[in-house]
Amino acid sequence: MNNINSNKHISVRLEDAVDSLNIQKDKIYVDCTFGRGGHSFEILKRLSSKGKLFVFDLDLDAKKYFDNNFSKFKNCFFIQDNFKNLKENLAKFDISKVDGFLFDFGVSSPMLDNANRGFSFKLDARLDMRMNQNQELSAYEVINNYSKEKLIQIFWKYGEIRNPVPVVDEIIKYRSNKPIETTLELVDIIRKRTPIKIQREKKHFARTYFQAIRIEVNDELNSIRKALSDALNMLSKNGRIVTISFHSLEEKEIKNTYKDVLESKIPKEVPINNSFDFKIIKIKPKRASSSELEENNRTRSSFLKVIERVNE
């Protein structure tokens, strides 16, 4: 198989994630978060010419990367759309059953490292954070146009910030004089109302604020919920869904979506066969290994989960 130029991008949990798919060489798989194709390339290495791989990504840069590096693979198909629309898009290829789905949630490293995309609280850029560069809503609109009440709500809900009011008050005060235009401008505003003790902590004080804005801009949690629900319904017998999550909100969406297919609503004392169509596959380790952390520090917060369909 041809080598792929990875631009030094190291996919998170590469071997663990692809191994967990338990790939059968002639089957159908979906990489729902293509990025720079690290997971996709590893999947393709394990497929025959009869096997098929469909990959999803909203990012225009990801599409360019696919065209330059993956178009040679005739059994690999790029779909430029949100993975929440996987069912509708796969139907266009007459695909109703899939043998494995891979989800690597959150923002990709290439997006984070590209200052122009406005995802990073460490790099100066215009506030953006759009995974889909064609959509209208951006971080700029959220920060400059959302009401005080709505900002408080998204910081509390998506950033899990206990008391975002002081920072929101500072945002409202600042933008009354001029628009908040850049990432570092926003970081300085957050810093003004963040206690010194928190500023000195290992994790960056602006991290959860940026996370909350990004989730709002890209409707990430609703997308996860719909995509996983559709993936469960489309999964073939013995097929697997592998998820890589990075924070508690993503993990909560995964857990809640799987809950209905893993927990019986019938009381245990009722004497009937209480069998299930799905089971969780125990993976060790669920967290990244020390060697992975040395290669890619962003794997530190990653959490791997695998579910398998055991009955049709």
The DSSP-derived string for the chain is ------TT---TTHHHHHHHT---TTSEEEES--TTSHHHHHHHHT--TT-EEEEE---HHHHHHHHHHTTT-TTEEEE-S-GGGHHHHHHTTT---EEEEEEE-S--HHHHH-GGG---SSS--BS---SSTTSS--HHHHHHHS-HHHHHHHHHHHS--S--HHHHHHHHHHHTTS---BHHHHHHHHHHTS-HHHHTSSS-TTHHHHHHHHHHHHTHHHHHHHHHHHHHHHEEEEEEEEEEE-SHHHHHHHHHHHHHHHS-SS-TTS-S----SEEEEP-S-SSPPHHHHHH-GGGTT-EEEEEEE---
Say whether 38 counts as a known binding-site residue: yes
Upper half-sphere CA count for residue 270 (Cβ side, 13 Å)? 8
CA distance linking residue 51 with residue 28, whole number of Å? 6
Say whether 37 counts as a known binding-site residue: yes
Beta bridge partners of 56: 79
CA distance linking residue 56 with residue 73, whole number of Å? 15
Both tokens of 20, joined, read 């967990």
Say whether 83 counts as a known binding-site residue: yes
Amino acid at 254: I
Both tokens of 225, joined, read 């919920």
Annotated binding site: 37-39, 57, 83, 104
Annotated binding site for S-adenosyl-L-methionine: 37-39, 57, 83, 104
